[in-house]
Chains A and B, each alone.
Chain A
Amino acid sequence: MTSADGPVLPKLIGERVKRREDPRLIQGQATYVDDIKLPGMLHLAFKRSDIAHGVIRAIDTSEAAAMEGVELVITGAELAERLGPMPIGTPFPAPDHYSVATDKVRYVGEPVAVVVAADRYVARDAADAIMVDYEELPAVVDPEAAMEAGSATLHDGFARNIAVESYWGGTGVNPETAQPEDDSAVDAAFAEADVVVSQRMLNQRLAPNAMEPRGVVAQYEAGREYLTVWSATQNPHILRTLVAGMMGLGEHQVRAVAPEVGGGFGCKINIYGEEYAAAALSRLVGAPVKWIEDRTEAFLTTTHGRDLLGYVDLAAKRDGTILGLKARIIADIGAYEVLLTAMIPTLTGLMMNGVYRIPVVRHELTEVFTNKTPTDAYRGAGRPEGLYFLERAVDMLARELDMDPAEVRRRNFIPADEFPFATQGGLVYDSGDYEPCLDKALELADWRGLLAERDAARAEGRIVGVGLSFYVEVCGLGPSAVVPTGGWEHSGVTVERGGKVTATTGASPHGQGNETTFAQMLADHFSIPLEDITILHGDTSVVKQGIGTFGSRSQAVGGAALISAAGKAGDKMKQFAAALMTDQEVSPEDLVFENGRIQVEGAPEVSKTFAEVADFAYVPVPLPPGMEPGVSEESFFEPENNTYPFGCHISMVEMDRDTGETKLLKMIAVDDCGNVINPLIVEGQVHGGLAQGIGQAMFEEVVYDEDGQPVTASFMDYVMPRAADLPAFTLDKTVTPTPVNPLGAKGVGEAGTIGSTPCVVNAAVDALAPFGVSHIDMPLRPERVWRLIQENGGQS
């Protein structure tokens, strides 16, 4: 299609635009941290504890230090003279935690010394040659036993290994006092209930396993007192702030770069000891240094996710109406609190309202130290745990009442006309319309047909089950009041000479496709071709400010900042355009962007090209009164609230009677993430999320033995979902825009991970119900399933 002056530019928002990131990635031309080489660069290797708990008596570094090619060997105690305890990002009390352990080790893999050497092979040889003498202490492994009086303790000042305790309940939290309202209402609700379902459930420990392990290159230039850190991080600006603080530098003396980053899933939010150590050691040895994690180090030292034990009670009337919820949650947070550790389990209780009107809630949370790798965010970060506990309990209620699981949920949904909806935990759900989403999922799955298929399979003696879940999650983190780093995002938009556009975003991506979606938004905003736009990110010397990419915030917060900056840049372009059209008495307010031109609305003949206006902006002769030359605008966007996407997932599983192996036959997901910028990318996000949620349900678990030794420290022991383990997913969506940002987009990065886990376990319990099974803990390990079948004599 063409207009008189050239091609009509198609609108790109909502279109399946191919990613602009891909050409470099599919040709091996991208630059990840390990691809960076600097002149004179040295390599780090960390000597790590091979025991779970012990006092360091002595470290002998002499053999390592004498090896050819070794520049320096430094112990944790020596490094602590240069680096203080690491900062955390939550307001909770926390024990000191050094980059490299100083006097005591508290988990297998904790670093105790560092080697700086000419190449990575030599560095590893030297680390292996370091001898550490430990006085071993009893390992604290079971979080419930850890709280008993006789347990060994990890940290002075944290009696019974308790890091955080919180309690709220009753009819809600009083916003004035932040204290629980009348708590007796919970007991009353349970007393009057027709049915109460109660279950202890483990939401097991997982390893995030981004395919690119962590890595860092640090270069301190003494001559200009300037530090540059390249790191596989989700949030270079937070890295800059924290590394500057640890190094005694100002933020003006530090540049942090997230180059190409090979996945994050939450484990690359934290700023780790290796990053601080690399910065300090570059300054100490006067050369750039590099450290690249291997996979076993990733299993041992990169933060784990989940590991929440829940005691859940749900009270209801005979007709399925939920009367109250009690949840006692014990979070096994591992050996230390890192950046967001203590905050993550608090999200679990907050989200346990789910999509239901639950009149009263009581929530108890205890976070416990154990001799394991510290936990932090992992895709979903607190929400999957809460929704798992709730959606399992609701399913148990349906089974107890012999009701259809969809109908129990429908009966308790928050009605569409009650949004914005304030939950017991003090959240305000922005928007929601749950019934159409449920109906669409039931129709897409052919729910009745699925049940008939299951029953027919059972009649043949097969072990088949169907499951359903309905989730709501919290996205678009901010606002600043609830995010310790600040909950805004920043963007800059520059219209260059020739009418091209360069934009920056602080939402530093690692697979989310922001270079594409953000360009789509600008292309529509300015009505210029996608090819005329470049999106830059990940470098604090290019992107002035930022927070980062986590909590499904790229679009909802970062995209909103982009649109805000684009609005300012557009206003200025219109002013320059009007100045070029003074003879036609055009006012900026009359102008619109249309097909590469700035024109009077409805009158394309009164126009200038976008390019000629841009050129004029940089040589504005005469300069319009009151204006500065150029077009380069920026914006901080502070969201007024979070967004609350939701969705319904349905699955079907079959179990092998003889081996206990579970096969996922069908997975149907109807998600509502508000307005969609690029359906192709949204589908990819949902697919990946589903795979990870299914991975938790079926395969994945970090296991420690009774001495705190990790049993799962490679991909040989830790089962990741592979292509042949998964079916083709069936997706659809409903669209309920959010009023919180101008895009109406809610965020989608974590959705799949949240709904799919309880959905698959609900299907597994349905399959095993004829054997008298009412619950099974994850993962659905064949041995575990087989035993449950055998306990009933193998007969259903």
Chain B
Amino acid sequence: MSDPVPITINVNGRERAAAVEARLLLVHFLRENLNLTGTHVGCDTSQCGACTVLLDGRSAKSCTVFAVQADGAEVQTIEGLAGGDGLHPLQDGFWEEHGLQCGYCTPGMIMSAANLLQDNPAPSEAEIREGISGNLCRCTGYQHIVNAIQHAAERMARA
């Protein structure tokens, strides 16, 4: 086992310093070290997107990033998305449009959608479907997720 490596990651606006094993995955750093269990692990091979977070503002699958690779970076997770009181428009959209059932893929799906709406604030249905194709959902058939993201995009456009 290698010596622990000191890292500092800004997570949801807060500097978090730790000494971690070099092989520790970012998702496990978030979940085990910081108790931010909203980010889930669904596949370990970056196919399902349940572990999606924003890494320096871009969506990243935290099961395939080592914590040491995120040293000095900013990470945003589902717990930090709303950034204060109330819900982020995406969270609100998922609630309003029944964009989730078991909820396991939901945090990663919402973080991917956040990245999508940053790049394309008014996506078409086809663009939304393409934009979330890195994330698997087994419950919803995606239709209500598409509606949820459209709902959020419309609300954010009005804001």
Chain A positions within 8 Å of B, measured between CB atoms, are: 18-19, 21-23, 25-32, 34-35, 37, 68, 121, 209-213, 260-263, 265, 292, 294-296, 510-513, 680-681, 683-684, 687-692, 714-716, 720-724, 726, 728-729, 752
Q: Assess the B138–A121 pair: CB atoms within 8 A.
A: no
Q: Assess the A715–B47 pair: CB atoms within 8 A.
A: yes
Among A265, A511, A684, which residue has its beta carbon within 8 angstroms of that of B103?
A: A511
Known: A28-B107, A510-B102, A716-B45. Contact between A34 and B78, CB under 8 A? no
B residues less than 8 Å from A512 (CB atoms): 101
Interface residues of B in 94-113 (CB under 8 A from A): 94-96, 98, 100-107, 110
17 sampled A-B residue pairs with Cβ under 8 A: A25-B106, A28-B36, A35-B31, A210-B104, A211-B102, A213-B41, A260-B102, A294-B44, A511-B101, A684-B101, A688-B140, A691-B140, A715-B45, A722-B133, A722-B136, A723-B137, A729-B143
Smallest CB separation, B22 vs chain A (Å): 11
Q: How many B residues, CB 8 Å from partner?
A: 57
Taken together as a complex, chains A and B put the C-alpha atoms of A687 and B95 apart, in Å, by 17
Q: Assess the A691–B141 pair: CB atoms within 8 A.
A: yes
Known: A34-B37, A720-B136. Contact between A687 and B43, CB under 8 A? no
Among A26, A37, A720, which residue has its beta carbon within 8 angstroms of that of B106?
A: A26
Taken together as a complex, chains A and B put the C-alpha atoms of A295 and B133 apart, in Å, by 19
Interface residues of B in 25-49 (CB under 8 A from A): 31, 35-45, 47-48
Q: Assess the B110–A263 pair: CB atoms within 8 A.
A: no
Q: Assess the A28–B78 pair: CB atoms within 8 A.
A: yes
Q: Assess the B43–A714 pair: CB atoms within 8 A.
A: yes
Stretch at the interface among B3-11, B67-75, B122-130: B122-130
Known: A263-B138, A715-B47. Contact between A22 and B95, CB under 8 A? yes
Considering the complex, give the chain A residue whose CB is closest to the CB of B128.
A723
Q: Please provide the 3 A-B residue pairs with the shortest distance between their CB atoms, ordered closest to farther.
A: A28-B38, A262-B104, A25-B103
A residues less than 8 Å from B100 (CB atoms): 22, 25-26
A residues less than 8 Å from B125 (CB atoms): 728
B14 contacts chain A at the CB level, 8 A cutoff: no
Taken together as a complex, chains A and B put the C-alpha atoms of A211 and B108 apart, in Å, by 12
B residues less than 8 Å from A30 (CB atoms): 38, 103
Q: Assess the A262–B40 pair: CB atoms within 8 A.
A: yes
Smallest CB separation, A681 vs chain B (Å): 7
Task: Please indicate which of the listed interface residues B79, B96, B104 has the most CB atoms of chain A within 10 Å of its own CB.
Answer: B104
User: At the interface, is chain B mostly helix, strand, loop or mixed?
Assistant: loop
A residues less than 8 Å from B145 (CB atoms): 723
Taken together as a complex, chains A and B put the C-alpha atoms of A87 and B132 apart, in Å, by 42
Smallest CB separation, A521 vs chain B (Å): 18
Taken together as a complex, chains A and B put the C-alpha atoms of A681 and B100 apart, in Å, by 10
B residues less than 8 Å from A729 (CB atoms): 141, 143
Task: Please indicate which of the listed interface residues A260, A296, A728 has the most CB atoms of chain B within 10 Å of its own CB.
Answer: A728
Taken together as a complex, chains A and B put the C-alpha atoms of A19 and B148 apart, in Å, by 14
Considering the complex, give the chain B residue whose CB is closest to the CB of A513.
B101
User: At the interface, is chain A mostly helix, strand, loop or mixed?
Assistant: loop
Among A212, A716, A723, which residue has its beta carbon within 8 angstroms of that of B133?
A: A723
Q: Assess the A212–B87 pair: CB atoms within 8 A.
A: no
A residues less than 8 Å from B35 (CB atoms): 37
A residues less than 8 Å from B126 (CB atoms): 724
Task: Please indicate which of the listed interface residues B43, B48, B102, B141 has the most CB atoms of chain A within 10 Å of its own CB.
Answer: B141
Taken together as a complex, chains A and B put the C-alpha atoms of A758 and B83 apart, in Å, by 47
Taken together as a complex, chains A and B put the C-alpha atoms of A683 and B44 apart, in Å, by 31
B82 contacts chain A at the CB level, 8 A cutoff: yes
B50 contacts chain A at the CB level, 8 A cutoff: yes
B residues less than 8 Å from A209 (CB atoms): 138
Q: Assess the A28–B39 pair: CB atoms within 8 A.
A: yes
A residues less than 8 Å from B44 (CB atoms): 294-296
Known: A26-B91, A210-B138, A723-B133. Contact between A32 and B40, CB under 8 A? yes
Considering the complex, give the chain A residue whose CB is closest to the CB of B149.
A723
Taken together as a complex, chains A and B put the C-alpha atoms of A714 and B45 apart, in Å, by 8
Known: A18-B95, A27-B87. Contact between A212 and B45, CB under 8 A? no
Taken together as a complex, chains A and B put the C-alpha atoms of A511 and B41 apart, in Å, by 18
A residues less than 8 Å from B139 (CB atoms): 211, 263, 511, 684, 688
Taken together as a complex, chains A and B put the C-alpha atoms of A681 and B44 apart, in Å, by 30
Q: Assess the B146–A728 pair: CB atoms within 8 A.
A: yes
Among A28, A210, A688, A722, which residue has its beta carbon within 8 angstroms of that of B37?
A: A28
A residues less than 8 Å from B137 (CB atoms): 211, 723
B residues less than 8 Å from A511 (CB atoms): 101-103, 139
A residues less than 8 Å from B48 (CB atoms): 211, 295, 715
B62 contacts chain A at the CB level, 8 A cutoff: no
Q: Assess the A26–B95 pair: CB atoms within 8 A.
A: yes
B residues less than 8 Å from A294 (CB atoms): 41, 44
Task: Please indicate which of the listed interface residues B31, B50, B101, B126 has the most CB atoms of chain A within 10 Å of its own CB.
Answer: B101
Taken together as a complex, chains A and B put the C-alpha atoms of A611 and B104 apart, in Å, by 37
Q: Assess the A295–B45 pair: CB atoms within 8 A.
A: yes
Q: Assess the A692–B138 pair: CB atoms within 8 A.
A: yes
Smallest CB separation, B24 vs chain A (Å): 8
Task: Please indicate which of the listed interface residues A30, A689, A729 has the most CB atoms of chain B within 10 Å of its own CB.
Answer: A30
B58 contacts chain A at the CB level, 8 A cutoff: no
A residues less than 8 Å from B39 (CB atoms): 28
B residues less than 8 Å from A716 (CB atoms): 45, 47
Considering the complex, give the chain B residue whose CB is closest to the CB of A718.
B47
Considering the complex, give the chain B residue whose CB is closest to the CB of A31.
B37
A residues less than 8 Å from B105 (CB atoms): 211, 262
Q: Assess the B43–A715 pair: CB atoms within 8 A.
A: yes
B residues less than 8 Å from A23 (CB atoms): 95
Q: Assess the A714–B138 pair: CB atoms within 8 A.
A: no
Taken together as a complex, chains A and B put the C-alpha atoms of A680 and B148 apart, in Å, by 13
Q: Assess the B140–A687 pair: CB atoms within 8 A.
A: yes
Among A27, A261, A728, which residue has its beta carbon within 8 angstroms of that of B102?
A: A261
Q: Assess the A723–B142 pair: CB atoms within 8 A.
A: yes
Taken together as a complex, chains A and B put the C-alpha atoms of A720 and B126 apart, in Å, by 18
